[in-house]
Amino acid sequence: MPSTHLSLNFHVIFSTHNRIPEIAEEWRPALHPGKPKAGLPGTPVHAYLGGCVRGVGGEPLMIGGIADHVHLLIRLRATHCLADVLRDVKKGSSYWVHESRERRRFAWQDGYGAFTVSPSRIAAVCAYIQNQEEHHRKKSFQEEYLEFLRESGIECDERYLW
């Protein structure tokens, strides 16, 4: 084949350091508004996190979250290393919070969860991310994350998870 064709979509989840609810509601839209653009269903308007993803050459499809964690649905290229992308996105967005929101102690948790998403599931994952506030009225971040791990067949020792 003379060219390469890929569909590398990732649903990434990471939390604030120690899951402290630091992402204030009043500045959350500037970090990740999670609202679709008018006329483009399923394509969100992104703020800073989306800009960080674009800055490393990725494509943000949907970004959202609540006070203690974020979800990113991103599309990457074959040349991307997911760990490097997330290091740069976390670094850039932490710097933005420090500078623009004057929260010098803000940090993201070191780890993250990343789950591949087939093209047929992108709309469903976008809807899931967009409805985070409603979703978390019923389920905590810890419950949600454990469910993702179980559904993906990822084994973990909960003693070292949190």
Task: Report if pTM > 0.85.
Answer: yes
Produce one character per residue of 93-123: b if its CB has 16 or more CB atoms within 10 Å, e if not.
Answer: bbebbeeebeeeebbbbeebbbbebeeeebe
Residue 1 falls within a domain, yes or no?
Answer: no
Tell me how far apart the alpha carbons of residues 83 and 12 are, in angstroms, rounded to a whole number. Answer: 11
Query: What pLDDT is stored for residue 29 in this prediction?
Result: 80
Tally of structural domains, the chain: 1
Residue 16 falls within a domain, yes or no?
Answer: yes
- Cβ distance 8 to 75 under 8 Å? yes
- Here the CATH number for the domain that contains residue 61 is 3.30.70.1290
Residue 120 falls within a domain, yes or no?
Answer: yes
Domain of residue 30: give its range. 8-160
Each residue's pLDDT tens digit in the chain (162 positions)?
788 889 999 999 999 999 999 998 888 888 876 655 444 444 454 588 999 999 999 999 999 999 999 999 999 999 999 999 999 999 999 999 999 888 889 999 999 999 999 999 999 999 999 999 898 999 999 999 999 999 999 999 988 888
Residue 3 falls within a domain, yes or no?
Answer: no
